[in-house]
Structure 1
Amino acid sequence: MSSTVQQPAQKAPAEAPTIVHRRRRVEPIYWFFLFPAIAVFTLLITYPAIEGMTMSFTNSMGFGDFDWIGFRNYVALFRDENILSSYGFTFLFAFVTVILVNAIAFFLALGLTSKIKFTNPLRAIFVIPMVISAIIYSFVFKFLFNNSLTAFGQMIGSETLSTSLLANENWAWFAVVIVTVWGSVPSAMLIYIAGFMTVPGEVYEASSIDGTSPWQNLIHITLPLVAGYVGINMIIGFKNYLAVYDQIKGLTDGGPGTATRSVAFTIFKGFEGGDYAYQMANAAVFFIITIIIALLQLRFTRGGTSE
Structure 2
Amino acid sequence: MKTKNRTYLLMVIPAFLIFFVFHTFPAIQGIFYSFTDYKGYGSWDFVGIKNYINVFLDERALGAYGFTFKFAITATIIVNIISVLIAIGLNANIKFRKTLRATYFLPFILSMLIVSYIFKFIFTNFLPEIGQSLGIEALSTNILGSPEHAWIGVVILTVWQSAAFNTLLYLAGLATIDNELYEAANIDGAGSWSKFWKITFPLIAPFFTINMVVAMKNFLMAFDQIIALTEGGPGTATESISLLIYRGGFEGGQFAYQSANAVIYFVVIVAISLIQLRVLERREVK
Residues 203-231 of structure 1 deviation map (CA, whole Å, 9 limit, x = unaligned)? 11111111111211111100011011000
CA distance in 1, matches of 2:280, 2:196: 19
Query: How far apart in 2 are the matches of 1:130 and 1:184?
Result: 6
Match of residue 94, structure 1, among 72, 75, 78: 72
> Greater CA deviation, 102-111 or 161-170?
161-170
C-alpha distance in 2 between matches for 1:116 and 1:181: 25
2:33 to 55, 68, 84: 55
- Identity percentage of aligned residues: 44
Letter in 2 for 1:284: V
TM-score (norm 2): 0.95
Aligned residues: 282
For the pair 1:296 / 2:275, whether they are aligned, the reply is yes
Could you tell me which amino acid in structure 1 is paired with residue 188 of structure 2?
A: D
1:154-303 equivalences in 2 (<5 Å): 154-270=132-248, 271-303=250-282
Alpha-carbon distance between aligned partners in 1 of 2:284 and 2:102, rounded to the nearest angstrom: 31
Q: CA RMSD in A?
A: 1.3
For residues 135 and 254 of structure 2, the distance between their equivalents in structure 1, rounded to whole angstroms, comes to 45
Q: Answer whether contact 2:202 2:283 (CA < 8 A) is retained.
A: no
Question: Which of the residues 90, 99, 105 maps onto 1:127?
Answer: 105
Render the CA deviation track for 1:163-213: whole Å, top value 9, x for unaligned: 210000111001000000010000000000000011011111111111111
The equivalent of 1:115 in structure 2 is 93
1:9 alignment counterpart = none
Please identify, of 130-139 and 157-166, the stretch whose mean Cα deviation from structure 2 is larger.
Answer: 157-166
Structure 2 runs not aligned, ≥5 long: none
8 Å contact kept, 2:36–2:46: yes
- TM normalised by structure 1 equals 0.89
1:143 and 1:260, CA in 2 relative to 1: closer, same or farther beyond 3 A? Answer: same
Partner residue in 2 for 1:29: 7
Q: State the Cα deviation string for residues 7-44 of structure 1 (Å, max 9, x = none).
A: xxxxxxxxxxxxxxxxxxx8333222222222111111
Query: More helix per residue: 1 or 2?
Result: 2
